[in-house]
Chains A and B, each alone.
Chain A
Amino acid sequence: MEVHNLQELRRSASLATKVFIQRDYSDGTICQFQTKFPPELDSRIERQLFEETVKTLNSFYAEAEKIGGSSYLEGCLACATAYFIFLCMETHYEKVLKKISRYIQEQNEKIFAPRGLLLTDPVERGMRVVSFLAVLCKGPELPTGGFLGEDTQK
């Protein structure tokens, strides 16, 4: 049910306004997103919640790109097996990306959908942005009126 509603939201996302949170390169080339609160979301969500979400995402990405013993081992093992090992198992990075997708899905269901927002997975946008889709209220497609709030005017 929840997933179905999310799909409905996505479908009507074409009518939505979008807020993009860009990458933050102050720490180098690692994947991080800016935690600066965009003014367009002011009325839709609490600052605290937003920051927490972005910080959690950043920490996930840091974990994915972490260089340390285990990642070296994985790299060396992969090299030793001529990278055939990746036919059997997925890389640490991919595992974390899956975790991130699940986290985003959860967050969407629990927190953002009730506020009429939809968070997109950065991996779908080439890791350039995290986008919040503020979905407009539209009639017949949506199962209940409870999901959506007011129109967003830009």
Chain B
Amino acid sequence: MGTLLRTSFSDPGVLPRATPDEAADLERQIDIANGTSSGGYRPPPRTKEVIINGQTVKLKYCFTCKIFRPPRASHCSLCDNCVERFDHHCPWVGNCVGKRNYRFFYMFILSLSFLTVFILAFVITHVILRSQQTGFLNALKDSPASVLEAVVCFFSVWSIVGLSGFHTYLISSNQTTNEDIKGSWSNKRGKENYNPYSYGNIFTNCCVALCGPISPSLIDRRGYIQPDTPQPAAPSNGIAAYGATQSQSDMAAATPLLQSEPSLTSDELHLPGKPGLGTPCASLTLGQPTPPSSMPNLTAEAALTDILPLKEEHVGHQFLTPEEAPSPPRMLAGSPLAHSRTMHVLGLASQDSLHEDSVRGLVKLSSV
């Protein structure tokens, strides 16, 4: 249970989105590299090649997060975030499995497989003991639940033990599910293809995956969203929330492209329920990074002119939602709407200072 909870609720290694300045800088560099001015049509997907340990690895540019993804990172459409060392998105756990929570996931499935084997063994023992007294069919009649249990356990054992075995293999060869499925490092692609991340030694690979250092979370899941400069003309340039919003998760999942964002802004404007502004600029101490948004159901888009002040009653709610972030965000659509409050707009002057120190790129170490 502990490992399940830990897997579900810990940050898998989400990469925060780029600040608008960074994004602009990158775009400029890409344009220089391509030597073209795009002139309105979407340029081809941008990639950068890097040589890691002798293997050429392509780094892809993520249009949603506006960054070049580090090697082994991938964008999860369900969570709408780039995740480091992306393994897979586990619906059972309701979270992505990535660098930071892989070991918890592995311990979860391992303990679960022991549990299922244990239960299956004892159910069978129970039935056998009973049938020694009363005969097989009578034993089954006396405890019908055992039959059900045995059937469920039997199938679970095959699937879960299989999964554990598969992940054991992945850990020992230091691959992610993603890489294995795509066959990125398989020998079938070519003789020279090998996994550049593997340490060569099974034992080392296991130790690193399970006992290596965990980097702290790069996102602040308890902070309040700070609004961006309210410029209705500008299309939203990156999304402050690192989790997905309800409407956005649908749209972003389908089309994680820049074109989807302007259409979202009108959506966002209509949604009154945007908890999240928070602590007004006075409380921003500029010496420290201000906590960015990490509310999954929020975006502080540039087009948003209405920002809701956060009331105390929201606090409880705020803490609830990051927890629920891993589970499909669509479920939370109703609640922020119910808490809508009066809107107020921050002055532009404060917006400037906020804009730089605020949300999108800035992160704070969180305890998880």
Contact = CB atoms under 8 A, between A and B. Distances in A.
Instruction: Judge: A and B partners, yes or no.
Output: yes
Interface of A: 3, 6-7, 10-11, 13-14, 18, 20, 22-23, 25-29, 64-67, 71-72, 74-76, 79, 82-83, 86, 91-94, 97, 121, 123-129, 131
A124 B215 contact: no
Kindly name the residue among B57, B353, B356 whose own CB sees the greatest number of chain A CB atoms within 10 A. B356
B218 A6 contact: no
B214 A91 contact: yes
Interface residues of B, number: 54
Nearest to A18: B21
Contacts of B22: 20, 125, 128-129, 131
B59 interface: yes
B218 A18 contact: no
Contacts of A7: 285-287
B211 A124 contact: no
A21 B352 CA distance: 23
A29 B361 CA distance: 20
Contacts, number: 122
Nearest to A16: B356
A3 B289 CA distance: 14
B327 to A, nearest CB: 21
Interface in B216-235: 216, 218-219
B23 to A, nearest CB: 10
Interface string B347-361: 000001101110001
A29 B50 contact: no
Contacts of A29: 70-72, 84-85, 197
A18 B25 contact: yes
Given A124-B361, A126-B218, 16 more contacts: A3-B287, A7-B285, A10-B287, A13-B356, A75-B212, A82-B2, A92-B213, A93-B213, A93-B216, A97-B216, A121-B289, A124-B364, A125-B362, A125-B363, A129-B22, A131-B22
Interface of B: 2, 6, 15-19, 21-22, 25-26, 50-53, 57, 59, 67-68, 70-72, 84-85, 103, 107, 196-197, 207-208, 210-216, 218-219, 285-287, 289, 352-353, 355-357, 361-365, 367
10 tightest CB-CB pairs across the interface, nearest first? A75-B211, A126-B16, A124-B289, A14-B356, A72-B211, A25-B50, A125-B361, A126-B218, A14-B352, A7-B287
A13 B287 CA distance: 12
Nearest to B82: A126
A29 B196 CA distance: 10
A129 B19 CA distance: 10
Given A26-B51, A124-B363, A10 B286 contact: yes
A123 B218 contact: yes
Contacts of A22: 68
23 contacts: A10-B357, A11-B353, A14-B352, A14-B353, A18-B21, A20-B25, A27-B52, A28-B52, A29-B70, A29-B84, A29-B85, A64-B213, A64-B215, A65-B215, A67-B212, A72-B211, A75-B212, A76-B211, A86-B367, A91-B216, A123-B365, A126-B361, A126-B363
B15 A28 contact: no
B231 to A, nearest CB: 15
Contacts of B16: 125-126, 128
A28 B207 contact: no
Contact of A79 (B68, B84, B211): B211
Contact of B71 (A28, A66, A79, A94): A28
Contacts of B286: 7, 10-11
